[in-house]
Structure 1
Amino acid sequence: MRYMMLIHHDEAALAAAPQKELWADYGAFNEALNKAAGAASGERLQPSSAATTVRQHDGKADVLDGPYADTKEQFAGYFFVEATDLDEAIAWARRCPSSRYGSIEIRPVVDAGARGK
């Protein structure tokens, strides 16, 4: 099954982390993920200060600078994994370096062939 891992972390804590070690850990994580999953995909997002939020209210679109959620942990990126089950997906989330600075939300991806059934 395909899972999407949504990375949320405290931007200040991540910025204070030893950067050389963090990115070396990410390099090793990405290499392991690619080796296990073939061509794993994912992206890192720019900081929440670069976000723009659009909300509809009474037929009017409000455009706001900044993130949707006013929380310490912000949505920072995502990656996909192919896993046999949720336990294997959890194991990948635990290995992700960002899990030390926030949380990884795991979501099963809807099988395109199963839509509408």
Structure 2
Amino acid sequence: MKFLLNLYLDAAALPGDGFDHEGFLSAAARTGELISGHVFADPSISAVVRVRDGVVTVTDGPYPQGPDHVAGQYLVDCENRERALELAASIMSERVGGVEVRPLMDSAGMEM
């Protein structure tokens, strides 16, 4: 099963602060569960595109507005949800906002 691990960080934290990437990467690479990963640029340089009543608007900054933002993500292929949760916990530290574990689905709505 494939899962997307979204890493959330408080916007006031320093870049790269709050995650144990080395420990996670070591564990997930050793077991062959890591497919890919990305660390995102600062959310202040992002943009949000919306379409309402046929009108396209572009605004600067993260979506949604709030104290936490998505700081990065990992794509993993695990045996089950419990294993994905274990991997997510290995990234955590006390200062991180959290890790969202979301299963991926194919175009037919079946878990991958």
Q: Does TM, normalized by the shorter one, top 0.5? A: yes
Q: Assess, with a 3 A threshold, how the Cα gap between structure 1 residues 11 and 37 changes in structure 2: closer, same or farther.
A: farther
1:79 matched to 2:90? The reply is no
Q: How does 1:75-114 map to 2 (within 5 A)?
A: 75-97=70-92, 100-111=95-106
User: Structure 1-normalised TM-score?
Assistant: 0.79
Aligned to 1:8: 8
Unpaired runs of 5+ in structure 2?
Answer: none
1:46 pairs with one of 25, 41, 44: 41
CA distance in 1, matches of 2:89, 2:33: 19
Q: Which residue pairs with 2:27 in the alignment?
A: 32
Q: Which is worse superposed, 35-44 or 100-109? A: 35-44
- Count of paired positions: 110
Contact in 1 for aligned 2:23/2:90 (Cα 8 Å): no
Partners in 2 of 1:76 and 1:68 — Cα distance? Answer: 12
Question: If the length of structure 2 is used for normalisation, what is the TM-score?
Answer: 0.82
Corresponding residue for residue 61 of structure 1: 56
Contact persistence 1:54–1:63 (CA under 8 A): yes
Point out the structure with max Rg over C-alpha.
1
Contact 2:34 2:77 (8 Å CA) reproduced: no
User: Counting helix residues as a fraction of each chain, which structure ranks higher?
Assistant: 1
Identity of matched residues, %: 29
- TM-superposed CA distance for 1:36, in Å, is 1.2
Root-mean-square deviation (CA, aligned residues, Å) is: 2.5
Q: Unpaired runs of 5+ in structure 1?
A: none
Moved over 4 A (4+): none
